[in-house]
Each structure stands twice: as structure tokens, then as C-alpha cells.
A and B are shown apart, each in its own frame.
Chain A
């Protein structure tokens, strides 16, 4: 009929740079950025690089309770003001730029614990004013943790803790697959806190190794880990978690992370040239993900990570 437009369902698929700009603009309103995955697994690193490339400053970073490479890189790039992550480590070694920046007073690293972070995400996801916690005792972290309060339990009368909602302005997730509407499928063994973060956040941007046809989702709905309702933007990024892992597709690139950490250690000992060159080569330099893949060794090199992931 004339004058009427027929509405059709909107695809949430976009490109990496567009997604990064949308994140940057949202984070200018409120700088709370949350990252999915855990340590060297399932981290949305391409989105992080994209955000750094379009220029982000003064970020407050949240994550599942453990993070390393990506947070350290964001600090090295000067984009972070506060860190709300209980454990920041590369696991086999410490995070050099995180340590230097905290020691120099450039970044505030809050003392937190896993229950506070996960509880805060739970409160936000569930839409309740706080999540009670009754398992924190004796640690000096409790004297410094800015997100918890002591309350009287209305049932037992016991002094317990409460954490208010953690509401990220933007959450970046990485999953192995999604359809164009943003239904995510984590094919990895662990799904970390990604499902909580998706429900806790204002805006969710997901990178996936590949976008699959609608039928793949419809044929197996119980395999969907995050329904599209909670996802705003989807980007197909091959090796989008590199140098972290995206099981079962590819393993973490430990050599790459170690080489990065060596540059960070050098910067910590006052020679920043290598670290700056790293950022220019891998973060601000590449035009797109194809370009990035070339800078980290090319398709043949990355194919080894695919093989490593299949070994088990």
C-alpha cells in the first residue's frame, strides 16, 4: 500500500571498524567496558584492538574474574584509568604494563574478588538492587573493595556483604558462531561469564569466528548460549580472539603473548621502543583483520594454532 513501508528484521552484522566506533562513542558517555572470556581463552581481542585503533581513553575495565593480555595491551596503549578485575596475570608470568602503570600511579587497580564481580553482574542481569555474598572473611581485600557493603541479613541477622549491580556500558564478547540476528554459540568447553555479561550490559558487541546460516541456530536451539535479544552487534572476525584461544577452532598463541610480554618487560625496565613498535605494527597499523593476520605470521602460521586446538 502506498505510503506504508514493510518492516523487515534487521541484521546485526557489521564490520570491525564500525563496531569499534559504536563502542567508542558509547564509552564516551560512560567508560565502563566489560570483556568476555577468561585469561587466554575466548577474549574479544580484535574488538579491543579495533577500539584502541579508533581511540579510546579513560576506560574502566571489567571482565570475568581473570584477565591478562588484552587488559595489559589496553594499558600499554594508554586507554585505561581503572581496572575492576580480581586477577590480572598472563598466568605463566605477570602482566608487565599493568604492573608498571599501577606502580607509577597511572592506573588504579581495585582490590576485588571473584564473588564481587560475578555477583555484581548477577545483580545487573537479574535486575535486582544487590546480590548478597556470605563467603568473604579475613582478607585485606575486604578493607579496600569499593563495590561491596556490609549489611545485616534480614533472615539470620548475620553481618554479610552486598554488591550492587555492575552495569557495563559496553561488553565485548567472542564466540565461535552466531547467526546474523546475533544468536551466539560458544562451542568451547567453558562459557566463562559471557552469559551473565550479556544480560548485565547496556550494549553487547560480539565477534565470532564465523556467521552461520539461520538454519544452524533453528535446528539446535539448546546450543545457543546467548540469545540475540541480548546482542546488539555481531562482527565476523576470523581469528578474532587471537592471540587468545577460540576453542575448538584455535589454541592460544603462547609464543606471541610471550614475545609481547618480553617487550612489556623491556618497557618496564625503561626501553619502550619495542612496545611502541608492537602497538604500531599490530594495533594501530593494520587496516583490517586480514592485514592483522599478516602481521602476526600469516595463515600458515595460524593454521598451527588450529591443529593445536584439535590435539586436546
Chain B
């Protein structure tokens, strides 16, 4: 593999490694990176991973699409459902799901509604979100925005569309969020996880070509970096081959 590894490819590999065989999960709204991660996991170590919970089971797309809500992206699939199934999936939960938003904060809360102003008098109105349940009825979820700046990583979101860890363990308990919530965050720059005691975000590793200082500079809150931060493990030859030759033949992740 001669071509340089793209930021999105690195994100896909990080996510794929955390998905286990036999699990049930769905990609969410911004589906490009999550679907690639699911496909890579199925290809390499999780052949019994099921994609479901979004009106279809086990799609076989011919290439990567930015949205899964596109019959082309389903290609063929094993079963098609309707929104009637939304209740069952949302209440029973999945093993994993993916989210990203306009703002992400130090506790992994996500805002898709408004930045500045109020809900009904917003400075900037966002798109909102459809499913607000998978974030806590699923065993866990991942945060995977394709940008990482001080504008979308802020100390506190203006509106909690998708609850992450709220303001920490006590707030989660009071709100009845009993599952893991956001397990980690992967961006084009780094992997960030949450301090188990406080549930505050911290820097776990930086991708090749990036530095801890740079990640801190592009994050709107203190990541508490005190020691050397390891580099995110690079994609293996096997991962890159599967990704480029079988999943992303058109090079969407490198565009």
C-alpha cells in the first residue's frame, strides 16, 4: 500500500477494531465512516456482526455512500423493514451506534439543534436529529465527527440533543442513563476517551502526523495532557487491503 493513509481511513480502522463478532449495530445518520467500519469489521474479524435497526438488515452496498437511507446504498440487503420496527429497536437497543453533531463537549454530549440563542430564537439552527434513543438504549456508542476544531469541540454544548455522559456519573444516574454511553471519540486528528472516574474527555492517542499540542490547540476545552501521548496504531496491511480493495473501491475515504 503505497498511497498515504487518509484521516478517514484511520478513523474507520480505529472504529472497526472495536466492533465484535456477533454484535448488532447501526450506522446512524452520517453513515460514510461508520458503514465502512462495520464493513471492515465484518470482512476481517466479525463475520457474524449484524447491521440492523434502521429499516434494513445486512445491506451489501457496491460502494460506500454518504447516507444509508438510499436504495443504492443498500444494494441488496437481507431484509427490509419499516418505521413500525423503530419502537422495538429503540427500546431493546443495539450493541453499538454512531453519532456526530454541530458541537461535542467535554462529556461527550452532542448538539444538533442550535448554536447561540435559544431553540426558538437560534443564532444558527442545526438539523435536529431523528433517533435520540440508541445513544442510551444501546450498549455503547461512538462519536466520529469528520472535523476537529475549537468550534465543534466546546466545553459545554448549547443544547443537548444526544446525551453523552451529561456532566458526569451523578448526572447520568439521575437521568437514568444506565448504559456505557459514548465509549470514545475518533476524529481526523486523534482518539479521545473518557476518564472513568469523572467521565470527562481526555486524549488517548494522536494519529500519525499529528501532535498532542496540535490536538489541544484545536479543542475548545482542556484535555488535561500531562504525559507523552501515544500514537494511534496505524492500519495494518491486511486492514488497508480489505478497505481499499473490497469496501472502498472508489476511494471515497481518500477523496
- Residues of chain A whose beta carbon lies under 8 Å from any beta carbon of chain B: 38-41, 64-66, 85-89, 91-92, 94-95, 98-99, 102-103, 105, 108-109, 111-115, 118-119, 122, 134-141, 144, 188-196, 245, 247-248, 251-252, 308-309, 311-312
5 A-B interface contacts by CB (under 8 A):
A86-B129, A87-B130, A95-B127, A196-B83, A245-B70
CA distance A108 to B119 in the complex (A): 9
Residue of B nearest to A137 (CB): B176
Q: Is B66 an interface residue (CB 8 A)?
A: yes
User: In the bound complex, do residue A105 and residue B121 qualify as a contact, i.e. CB atoms below 8 Å apart?
Assistant: yes
Residue of A nearest to B175 (CB): A138
Given A91-B67, A113-B133, A190-B81, 7 more A-B residue pairs with CB atoms under 8 Å apart are: A66-B69, A113-B129, A135-B137, A138-B176, A138-B177, A189-B71, A312-B71
Q: Is B29 an interface residue (CB 8 A)?
A: yes
Residue of B nearest to A38 (CB): B69
What chain B residues lie within 8 Å of A192 (beta carbons)?
Answer: 55, 82-83
User: In the bound complex, do residue B113 and residue A115 qualify as a contact, i.e. CB atoms below 8 Å apart?
Assistant: no
User: In the bound complex, do residue B80 and residue A189 qualify as a contact, i.e. CB atoms below 8 Å apart?
Assistant: yes
What chain B residues lie within 8 Å of A138 (beta carbons)?
Answer: 135-136, 160, 163, 166, 172, 175-177
User: In the bound complex, do residue B162 and residue A139 qualify as a contact, i.e. CB atoms below 8 Å apart?
Assistant: yes
Residue of A nearest to B93 (CB): A135
State which residues 101-137 of B face A: CB under 8 Å: 112-113, 117, 119-133, 135-137
User: In the bound complex, do residue A135 and residue B91 qualify as a contact, i.e. CB atoms below 8 Å apart?
Assistant: yes
What is the size, in residues, of chain B's interface with A at 8 Å between Cβ atoms? 54
Which of B66, B75, B90, B160 gathers most chain A CB within 10 Å?
A: B90
CA distance A218 to B57 in the complex (A): 29
Which of A91, A144, A190, A196 gathers most chain B CB within 10 Å?
A: A190
User: In the bound complex, do residue A312 and residue B127 qualify as a contact, i.e. CB atoms below 8 Å apart?
Assistant: no
Which of A88, A137, A308 gathers most chain B CB within 10 Å?
A: A137
B40 smallest CB distance to A (angstroms): 21
What chain A residues lie within 8 Å of B135 (beta carbons)?
Answer: 138
Residue of B nearest to A102 (CB): B125
User: In the bound complex, do residue B161 and residue A141 qualify as a contact, i.e. CB atoms below 8 Å apart?
Assistant: yes
CA distance A113 to B134 in the complex (A): 12
Q: Is B77 an interface residue (CB 8 A)?
A: yes
Chain B 155-167, CB-CB to A under 8 Å as 1, else 0, gives: 0000111110010
A298 smallest CB distance to B (angstroms): 23
B125 smallest CB distance to A (angstroms): 4
CA distance A102 to B90 in the complex (A): 29
CA distance A109 to B118 in the complex (A): 12
What chain A residues lie within 8 Å of B44 (beta carbons)?
Answer: none
User: In the bound complex, do residue B87 and residue A119 qualify as a contact, i.e. CB atoms below 8 Å apart?
Assistant: yes
Q: Is B84 an interface residue (CB 8 A)?
A: yes
CA distance A97 to B44 in the complex (A): 44
What chain B residues lie within 8 Å of A190 (beta carbons)?
Answer: 55-56, 69, 71, 74, 80-82
User: In the bound complex, do residue A115 and residue B87 qualify as a contact, i.e. CB atoms below 8 Å apart?
Assistant: yes
CA distance A92 to B14 in the complex (A): 23
B73 smallest CB distance to A (angstroms): 10
What 10 pairs between A and B have smallest CB-CB spacing? A138-B163, A89-B127, A247-B71, A65-B130, A193-B83, A135-B133, A138-B175, A113-B132, A114-B130, A87-B130
CA distance A141 to B111 in the complex (A): 10
B233 smallest CB distance to A (angstroms): 31
Residue of B nearest to A89 (CB): B127
Residue of B nearest to A68 (CB): B127
User: In the bound complex, do residue A99 and residue B131 qualify as a contact, i.e. CB atoms below 8 Å apart?
Assistant: no
Residue of B nearest to A116 (CB): B132
Which of B62, B117, B125, B137 gathers most chain A CB within 10 Å?
A: B125
Known pairs A41-B71, A189-B77; A88 contacts B127 (CB<8 A):
yes
Q: Is B183 an interface residue (CB 8 A)?
A: no
B129 smallest CB distance to A (angstroms): 6
What chain B residues lie within 8 Å of A195 (beta carbons)?
Answer: 82, 84
User: In the bound complex, do residue A312 and residue B62 qualify as a contact, i.e. CB atoms below 8 Å apart?
Assistant: yes
A6 smallest CB distance to B (angstroms): 40
What chain A residues lie within 8 Å of B77 (beta carbons)?
Answer: 189
What chain B residues lie within 8 Å of A95 (beta carbons)?
Answer: 127
Q: Is B72 an interface residue (CB 8 A)?
A: yes
User: In the bound complex, do residue A137 and residue B175 qualify as a contact, i.e. CB atoms below 8 Å apart?
Assistant: yes
Residue of A nearest to B136 (CB): A137
User: In the bound complex, do residue A64 and residue B83 qualify as a contact, i.e. CB atoms below 8 Å apart?
Assistant: yes
B159 smallest CB distance to A (angstroms): 5
User: In the bound complex, do residue A103 and residue B72 qualify as a contact, i.e. CB atoms below 8 Å apart?
Assistant: no
Known pairs A113-B131, A137-B176, A139-B163; A312 contacts B75 (CB<8 A):
yes
What chain B residues lie within 8 Å of A191 (beta carbons)?
Answer: 80, 82
B167 smallest CB distance to A (angstroms): 11
Q: Is B246 an interface residue (CB 8 A)?
A: no
What chain B residues lie within 8 Å of A64 (beta carbons)?
Answer: 83
User: In the bound complex, do residue A103 and residue B83 qualify as a contact, i.e. CB atoms below 8 Å apart?
Assistant: no
